[in-house]
Chain A
Amino acid sequence: MLQVIKSVLAAFLGVQSEKNRQQDFQSRSPWPFIVTGVVMTLVFVLVVASVARWAAS
């Protein structure tokens, strides 16, 4: 799971090493990545939103 989160984070930055990538693509189903990606997008939005909220106050 940690690996999945790390990979999705890497995807957000757009940087991924070949080794980790190989590892990701060993896994048989893409679903963990897709679900984590969507969840992390939501988390990302919440984080930026709370930073904005904090900065505005």
Chain B
Amino acid sequence: MVPELPPRPDKHQAISDTAAGGSAVDQGGHHHEQPTGLLRWLLTTNHKEIGTLYMLFALLMFFIGGTMALIVRAELFQPGMTFVVPEFFNQMTTMHGLIMVFGAIMPAFVGLANWLIPVQIGAPDMALPRLNNFSFWLLPVSFTILLSTLFMEGGGPNFGWTFYAPLSTTYGPPSTSFFILAMHLAGISSILGAINIIATILNLRTPNMRLMDMPLFVWTWLITAFLLIAVMPVLAGVITMMLLDINFGTSFFDAAGGGDPVLFQHLFWFFGHPEVYIMILPAFGIVSAIVPTFARKRLFGYASMVYATASIALLSFVVWAHHMFTVGLPLTAQLFFMYSTMLIAVPTGVKVFNWIATLFRGSISFELPMLFSLAFIVQFTIGGLSGVMLAIAPVDFQYHDTYFVVAHFHYVLVPGAVFAILAAAYYWLPKWSGVYPNVKLGLAHFWLSVIGVNLTFFPMHFSGLAGMPRRIPDYALQFADFNMLSSIGGFLFGISQLLFVAVIVLCIRKKGEKAPAQAWEGAEGLEWQLPSPAPLHTFDTPPEFIPERDSPSRH
């Protein structure tokens, strides 16, 4: 864990020996008498298999959470209580948010990290393979518990993904303790995953690869992992306080007992704001890998990108109360959080400028991963710009808790983070499966997704500005048209994702054009030296890395 740069070759040897060796004792065993069937997946310590598990889990959750979103959109298709009752509607919005954040987006990124970080830094596996297995298997347990609350008396969580007290404590449904347990498990999983990623990146790089020679995806994940370790314990703390309030008579958040409901929000958003960056930084890394490949030009301002990421991460700790502009903070605090939030937009903007400068005077082609990445840049920028509008505290009095905010964070998360994840899948699928994703299906998936996602979320800016509060199952008549558009778009987007499943099934079945080791003409990085599909065990001996030739920051 001592971050020395550059790591000395002999140290790398020693550590990779224990990692590959320590686990290699059992891994060595796996070579010969590998368990088959379910047990193989249950017991695997291989980073590629665990990565695959994470991603398939994320995909499953994406569909479960997506179905809930469609129930919400079906109710909102027209004004009036038309489809479900308000109690159930609230459970659907809450579960949708929780599942998408903790069950889909985060595990998808961890899955990508598992698959890619070792092969991008020339390591034989993650530093702590058994811990890796444990972190993954906590997730199905956690989300089984979470989903089971829907069938308990009083129903599942119905207080929004931000679970503000006292709605979630004194007034919460009886299943809330199970919700807390599920969040604890998911949190432990994230922390362990983050520890593993940091240990891997700092210790297992191939000789001569200095930190500043790492691909940006590795960099962004390194910083994300530190963010995770810093804020997941805060989440654990706040849900533990809830647990005590609910079951042991404390009153952290209960005003009647001298507690403070606003304290809950400070704690939640101290976790929550860095959390939203946790969900976007790895996406920055993905796009920074794909854009140069298909522009056939090196990333513009590699060093600046690294620095901007670090800067965003640090600043993200001092902006949390921009989610609380209406709780009645003192004027000075209000101003502080307004200024700091406006400042964080600057390094975020720098990222976008760098990608565009990378495109400038490149030689650009439009393969599937590139299409998704370009759509990411445009759509993420729209979300970033509405973020700047939200940062202006006095105006946020009008935007807060309306569909304008819903539009903002869905733009950064769905056409943003989710598109980046899809881009990553299309980009690395040849390496994972050995065949290229089907182009016809992929194109249909791309265009339908772009149309669907924008049709869903763009009108939300208007319904929000016109005055529609978020999290309501029924609304006044002047919002009807925008909601109808959003619902149509939502179903279009949701159903188009089945095409993605078809693409993946074809790849798994090896139906498609065989991919060579260097699957994309302009791609750089150690992973492209491996055959496609990458064998289960790779880089048992560290690959050669010459910074002057291989580093993304070389001259």
Q: A contacts B directly in the complex (CB < 8 Å)? A: yes
Which residues of A line the B interface, CB within 8 A? Answer: 10-18, 21, 25, 28-30, 37, 41, 44-45, 48-49, 51-53, 55-56
Give the distance in Å from the alpha carbon of A40 to the alpha carbon of B360 in the complex.
Answer: 34
**Are B347 and A14 in contact (CB-based, < 8 A)?**
yes
**Are A25 and B304 in contact (CB-based, < 8 A)?**
no
**Nearest CB of A to B485, in Å:** 37
Q: A21-B303, A52-B332, A56-B335 are known contacts. Are A13 and B310 too (CB-CB below 8 A)?
A: no
**Nearest CB of A to B153, in Å:** 47
**Are B304 and A16 in contact (CB-based, < 8 A)?**
yes
**Nearest CB of B to A26, in Å:** 10
Q: A21-B303, A41-B314, A52-B332 are known contacts. Are A15 and B350 too (CB-CB below 8 A)?
A: yes
Q: A21-B303, A25-B210 are known contacts. Are A55 and B335 too (CB-CB below 8 A)?
A: yes
Give the distance in Å from the alpha carbon of A33 to the alpha carbon of B311 in the complex.
Answer: 13
339-374 of chain B: CB within 8 A of chain A: 339-340, 343, 346-347, 350-351
Contact of A53 among B212, B312, B332, B351 (CB under 8 A): B332
B317: chain A residues at CB < 8 Å are: 41
**Nearest CB of B to A13, in Å:** 7
Question: Closest chain B residue to A31 by CB distance?
Answer: B3
Q: Does B4 contact A (CB under 8 A)?
A: yes
B351: chain A residues at CB < 8 Å are: 14
**Are A11 and B310 in contact (CB-based, < 8 A)?**
yes
Q: Does B549 contact A (CB under 8 A)?
A: no
Q: How many B residues touch A, CB cutoff 8 Å?
A: 33
280-319 of chain B: CB within 8 A of chain A: 301, 303-305, 307-312, 314, 317-318
A15: chain B residues at CB < 8 Å are: 301, 304, 307-308, 350
**Nearest CB of A to B433, in Å:** 36
Name the residue in A14, A28, A41, A51 with the highest tally of chain B Cβ atoms < 10 Å from its Cβ: A14
A25: chain B residues at CB < 8 Å are: 5, 210-212
Q: Does B438 contact A (CB under 8 A)?
A: no
A-B residue pairs in contact (CB < 8 Å), sample of 7? A12-B347, A14-B309, A15-B350, A16-B303, A25-B5, A51-B339, A52-B336
**Are B340 and A48 in contact (CB-based, < 8 A)?**
yes
**Are B311 and A13 in contact (CB-based, < 8 A)?**
yes
**Are B311 and A30 in contact (CB-based, < 8 A)?**
no
Give the distance in Å from the alpha carbon of A28 to the alpha carbon of B309 in the complex.
Answer: 22
Question: Closest chain B residue to A11 by CB distance?
Answer: B307
**Are B303 and A13 in contact (CB-based, < 8 A)?**
no
**Nearest CB of B to A37, in Å:** 7
* Sample of 19 further A-B pairs with CB below 8 A, known A25-B212, A29-B4: A12-B311, A12-B314, A13-B307, A13-B311, A14-B309, A14-B312, A14-B351, A15-B301, A15-B307, A15-B308, A15-B350, A18-B303, A18-B553, A18-B555, A44-B318, A48-B336, A48-B340, A48-B343, A49-B332
A16: chain B residues at CB < 8 Å are: 303-304, 307
Secondary structure call for the B interface: helix
Give the distance in Å from the alpha carbon of A12 to the alpha carbon of B309 in the complex.
Answer: 9
**Are B308 and A14 in contact (CB-based, < 8 A)?**
yes
Give the distance in Å from the alpha carbon of A51 to the alpha carbon of B342 in the complex.
Answer: 14
B312: chain A residues at CB < 8 Å are: 14
**Nearest CB of A to B484, in Å:** 41
**Nearest CB of A to B518, in Å:** 27
A12: chain B residues at CB < 8 Å are: 311, 314, 347
**Nearest CB of A to B491, in Å:** 39
Give the distance in Å from the alpha carbon of A16 to the alpha carbon of B212 in the complex.
Answer: 13
Q: Does B331 contact A (CB under 8 A)?
A: yes
**Nearest CB of A to B26, in Å:** 34
Q: A14-B304, A14-B347, A15-B307 are known contacts. Are A30 and B555 too (CB-CB below 8 A)?
A: no
Give the distance in Å from the alpha carbon of A23 to the alpha carbon of B89 in the complex.
Answer: 57
**Are B318 and A45 in contact (CB-based, < 8 A)?**
yes
**Are A14 and B307 in contact (CB-based, < 8 A)?**
yes
A17: chain B residues at CB < 8 Å are: 303
B3: chain A residues at CB < 8 Å are: 30
**Nearest CB of A to B548, in Å:** 12
A45: chain B residues at CB < 8 Å are: 318, 340
1-41 of chain B: CB within 8 A of chain A: 3-5
**Nearest CB of A to B221, in Å:** 18
**Nearest CB of A to B546, in Å:** 16
**Nearest CB of B to A3, in Å:** 15
Give the distance in Å from the alpha carbon of A18 to the alpha carbon of B305 in the complex.
Answer: 12
Give the distance in Å from the alpha carbon of A11 to the alpha carbon of B312 in the complex.
Answer: 10
**Are A56 and B311 in contact (CB-based, < 8 A)?**
no
Contact of B331 among A11, A30, A56 (CB under 8 A): A56
Question: Closest chain A residue to B305 by CB distance?
Answer: A14
Give the distance in Å from the alpha carbon of A49 to the alpha carbon of B336 in the complex.
Answer: 6
Give the distance in Å from the alpha carbon of A30 to the alpha carbon of B304 in the complex.
Answer: 18
